[in-house]
Amino acid sequence: MSLSIYPVLCNAGFMDNYAYLLVDDTTGISAVVDAAEEQAIIDFCEKKNIVPQFILTTHHHEDHTNANLALKKRYGLKIAGSAIEKNLIDGLDIPLEDGDIFKLGETQARIILAAGHTNGHILWYFEKEKALFTGDVLFNLCIGGLFEGTPEQMWQSLQKIKALPDDVRFYPGHEYTSLTPAALQNPAFVPYLQFLENCRRNNLPPVGNMLGLEKQCNPYLKIADKDDFINKMR
């Protein structure tokens, strides 16, 4: 059982969103995570000869959903996303709740509700394949802003991510890698910098880093005390 994951940079230079093309290798069944830009996704699908059957939405924001209806029309696909945001996600067919299982061919994702950025934001967790799609909750070395939720909700959401195994790879919704000068000096960041450098050298987007490394380096995940986190967010 394996899952191929292809990042597609969308809204380049504007929002720098990542959409992802997923293919269940056993059945060939495929999906787009966050339909951020119609043309970039279509071009990639044509290049790879992929006809997506689903869109897997992390949250309702327009920069993650604006190609929903166009792709639905073109491919006849079904759109899955958070039940809490069912009236906000264009074309939603499959509303999902916290803990639900979504089957993509022979692989499957568990839905993890992660409120804070939006009230119904979900994470897509392919447990066996060790892949987590974090939308606008977790980025490389930073987190998403609080558009709808409270700092407490974001804290809870980050604790859910921290509870996942260190060898899970995570795939953020934007290229917002946030490297401060202090981080560049910090020896704890050496493996992180190696990861970024390795991606750069191979001309790959810097996604799919290990959660274990993120837990050690992301300043928001490193905070152990809830009140300290809430103060930092205020």
Binding site for Zn ion (CB under 5 A): 61, 136
Q: Which among 19-27, 62-70, 99-107, 112-120 is the span making contact with Fe ion, rule CB under 5 A?
A: 62-70
Tell me whether residue 136 or residue 214 sits nearer to Zn ion (CB atom).
136
| Residue 34 near Fe ion by CB under 5 A | no
Tell me whether residue 37 or residue 136 sits nearer to Fe ion (CB atom).
136
Instruction: Give, rounded to a whole angstrom, the gap between the first and last alpha carbons of the chain.
Output: 44
x/- mask, Fe ion, residues 104-143, rule CB under 5 A, reads: --------------------------------x-------
Question: Amino acid letter at 11?
Answer: N
Shortest Å distance, C-beta 176 to Zn ion: 11
Q: Which residues of 128-164 are buried (b: 16+ CB within 10 A; e: fewer)?
A: ebbbbbbbbbbbbbbbbeeeebebebbbbbbeebeeb
Element (H, E) at 65: helix 62-65
| Residue 63 near Fe ion by CB under 5 A | yes
Shortest Å distance, C-beta 51 to Fe ion: 26
Tell me whether residue 38 or residue 127 sits nearer to Zn ion (CB atom).
38
Q: Is 38 helix (H, G, I), strand (E, B) or coil?
A: helix
Contacts with Fe ion by CB under 5 A lie at 63, 136
